[in-house]
Amino acid sequence: MPQLELRNIVKIYPFINPKKYFFNRKKAEKVLEEQRRMPYLSNEGVIAVQQYSLTVEEGEFVVLYGPSGCGKSTVLRMIAGLTDVTDGELLIDGEDMEGVLPEERDVAMVFQEYSLYPHFTVAQNIAFPLRNLHLPREELDRKVELMLRLLELTGVKDEKPATLSGGEMQRTAIGRALIRRPKIFLMDEPFSNLDTPLRRKLRVLMKKIHQEIGTTFIYVTHDMYEAMSLATKLVLMKDGMIVQEGSPGDIYSHPENITSGTMIGAPAMNIFRDAVLLRDEDGCVLRVLGKEFPCRKKIEKKCGPVILGLRPVHFEMFREPGADSGEMILCTVLRREDAGTEVHFVLEPVEGESCEIRTAIRSEDPAAGVHEGQEVWIRPRTEEAFLFDTETEMRLQ
Ligand SMILES: Nc1ncnc2c1ncn2[C@@H]1O[C@H](COP(=O)(O)OP(=O)(O)OP(=O)(O)O)[C@@H](O)[C@H]1O
Ligand SMILES: [Mg+2]
């Protein structure tokens, strides 16, 4: 039995009624306007989450990833019991959670804002949830010491929150949430107030803690790197629905549709909407950007218009066309950006309809030295391309 199961969950937030907000009427009217602009509405209100089915096994590190407003926090709050479910079932260990209070669910949650008791030290903050258990002093100390060590907080254990850094405060909040070893640990963008190097460090730490304690983690972020590096199960979300779920590697190499293809990977996948799959004597060729390219995929049956997805790494780049310029496209460099091991380019074909092509070339490649305004030849490795249906935008084959 899965530890957590969401079955066809729907969450509708009622429309706000400005008449009820006598003193804040202007603001309430603005909120209502925003609500009316949301992509999915019902008669009762905003559909924040719909058709949402997800199963989580014990010990997984689930990451909910998607743009602002896609319903990530709402899903987390429904699991925690902080907001009710409009329709569908939410089960923990097979038990329906309807009417079960947050404190009875054995889940813990950490938010973006730090919420510590200002008059308590780090150690006292972490020990706080154990206060009613009447544990022997030694056992209590042992549990707190272990948590301090796990979160690398031993050095500041006697300090009060006011003197802590943001990272230390958030780690203290995590320690306090984990000390009772909840069944499920929920985190809503816990590190988004911190700077990038610190976030990277804490990411590594979270991974280590997850491996050591083996508790189920459900983590919300809109940072792609965070999502990819932490998740054992990545859940891509958009407009309150799941776009695709799976391991980060699997989603990257097998996107089910254009949305998941473009959500994962940076720079984002190039999408060519006017590609055509043609039959020739050896099988298939792809016509795109005014030229024809090989297509190794066995999808002859799908001949006709297709949408082509090419990741920036799916291009080779050359300073000179070489012998076989028939398969290459001459482009102008619009933008160039060094990204360490790779250089990222935005190119525009010299001939044909104007469009932008993103490429990522290894820095040591001689072609990576070209600059803005110069010309380069590119060859798309169409054998590795993704093909999508023009109507459903689902991946073909
Ligand atoms: N209390 C509420 N009342 C009405 N609408 C709400 C409420 N909370 C959230 N919403 C709406 O529900 C949708 C989902 O919001 P939610 O906070 O879950 O998104 P999110 O993915 O967490 O976004 P972010 O990344 O910005 O935190 C949004 O359209 C939001 O405006
Ligand atoms: Mg949120």
Quote the pLDDT of residue 155. Answer: 95
Sheet of 270-280: strands edge to edge? 291-294, 283-288, 270-280, 304-310, 386-388
249 CA to middle of ligand 1, Å? 28
* Nearest CA among 129, 128, 176 for reference residue 151: 176
Distance CA 34, CA 21 (A): 16
pLDDT at residue 352, as a whole number: 86
pLDDT of residue 325: 67
Mutation test residue for ligand 1: of 12, 33, 46, 186, the one with most atoms within 8 Å of CB: 46
Q: 352 C-alpha vs ligand 2 centroid, how far in Å?
A: 43
pLDDT score at 298: 67
pLDDT of residue 23: 84
For 77-92, the pLDDT digits (tens) are 999 999 999 999 999 9
CATH 3.40.50.300 residue ranges for the chain? 4-106+182-263
**Is there an atom of ligand 1 within 6 Å of 71 CB?**
yes
Tell me how far CA of residue 28 lies from CA of 23, 180, 207, 390, in angstroms: 10, 40, 41, 41
- Low-confidence residues in the chain, pLDDT < 70: 297-301, 325-326
The class that CATH gives domain 4-106+182-263 is alpha beta
φ, ψ (nearest 5 deg) of residue 267: -60, 160
- Cα 235 to middle of ligand 2, angstroms: 15
Query: Which residue has a Cα nearest atom 6 of ligand 1?
Result: 13
Q: 68: Cβ below 6 Å to ligand 1?
A: yes
Distance 303 CA to ligand 2 centre (A): 43
The protein residue whose alpha carbon is closest to atom 26 in ligand 1 is 68
Q: Is the Cβ atom of 45 under 6 angstroms away from ligand 1?
A: no
CATH 2.40.50.140-classified regions of the chain: 270-388
CA–centroid distance, 271 to ligand 2, in Å, is 29
Atom from ligand 1 closest to the CA of residue 66 = 21
> What are 323's two structure tokens?
């012998």
Task: Give the CATH architecture of domain 270-388.
Answer: Beta Barrel (2.40)
- Confirm or reject: Cβ of 13 under 6 Å from ligand 1: yes
User: How far is Cα 382 from Cα 124, in angstroms, rounded to an integer?
Assistant: 59
CA 136 to ligand 2 center in whole angstroms: 39
Lookup result for tokens 């009622």:
14
> Is 70 close to ligand 1, i.e. is its CB under 6 Å away?
yes
Euclidean distance between CA atoms 90 and 7, whole angstroms: 6
